[in-house]
A = this chain, B = another copy of it.
Amino acid sequence: MKRWTLEDIGKLAGVSRSTVSRVINDQPHTSPAVRQRVEQVIRETGYQPNSAARSLASSQSRILGLVMPSILQSAFTDPYYALIIQAISHACNQHDYTPSLFLFQSADEEAKMSQRLASSGLIDGLIVTADTIDSQFVQMIQPYAIPFVQIGRPLRESATCISYVDVDNEAGAYLAASHLIQQGYQRIGQLATLHNTAGHDRDAGFRRALLDRGLPIDEKLIALSSFSEASGYRAMQQLLTQKPEAVFAQSDAIALGAIRAIRDQDLRVPEDIAVVGFDDMPLAASASPPLTTVRQPIARAGKLAVETLLDIIQTSPQPARHIVLPVELVIRASSGAVS
């Protein structure tokens, strides 16, 4: 398979290199006849434009970077990441962009790469996940002019000037807690993660729900966890000593861990303790018992992140785009509302 060039194709079609370029880039100013002839030759030869040459000449790589700063091994195995990656990949495919992956295992790696990422021209824009609250990554790339969007709300300090796509974590947690309150539960615990802004927002929603219904907030009923099943299990074990009647877990993985902890104590869900999760992962519907949870539109968030980024790249970075997607409560058996 020969590596064809524009020049080759032009020669075969009896036109100049520029004309072929115009055809490929769907520019106007080419007669239909010529266009057809060129397209024919392209099809026959299987010609593919060289992307390095294209990038160099146009200073556009059509590559998007997907950055996950200082990621923890445990967190990354959460299906959330698989789903967001899949959605981003799919959106990139549709728009003829290539997604590249930048997972950093340490702050060092993060620092070393951020400069490269931002100024080698390899990448047209970045999608950054707000994995942990203390990542410096966004601050490091801001001085560079590279377009980026964050998935998840940035810290308040910078939230106004950063474009982001988020889901309404606060409202979701409010919904979840309110649902439990409506079932008549009074001692409602929370398995909380304060590692990122999503955790903070869910915590805020949880508290607001209790306050709105006049329930006291008992800090002893809030146990800290990471975003993993194992950590949910441990946190629930701890919470069990406080005898909660119901629990809001800040993620489905945590909820699954909690259910396991509850059952390992020979208690039943929801009869002895009701559980609500957050995410509506594929696992949630088929769990035992099926999990009541807050569905967040992960696929939509990924797609919108890509499209927002492309919009920023193609138009202008100003003003910062802020998108907050609605969530919805999915009621299943684990919260005691379904027999």
A residues whose Cβ falls under 8 Å from a Cβ of B: 1, 3, 46, 48-53, 55-56, 59, 61, 63, 66, 71, 73-74, 76-77, 79, 81-83, 85-86, 89-90, 93, 98-105, 109, 113, 115-116, 119-122, 143-145, 228-230, 233, 260, 263-264, 281-283, 286-288
Contact = CB atoms under 8 A, between A and B. Distances in A.
A146 to B, nearest CB: 10
Given A66-B101, A99-B100, 7 more contacts: A1-B144, A3-B121, A48-B120, A51-B120, A52-B122, A93-B113, A98-B100
B89 A48 contact: no
A71 B282 CA distance: 16
A269 to B, nearest CB: 12
A119 B82 contact: no
A88 to B, nearest CB: 8
12 contacts: A1-B119, A46-B119, A48-B119, A48-B121, A51-B120, A52-B55, A52-B122, A85-B101, A85-B103, A229-B283, A230-B283, A260-B287
| Smallest CB-CB A-B distances: 4 pairs | A52-B55, A77-B79, A230-B286, A52-B56
A85 to B, nearest CB: 7
- Copies of this protein chain in the complex: 2
A71 B122 CA distance: 27
Nearest to A79: B77
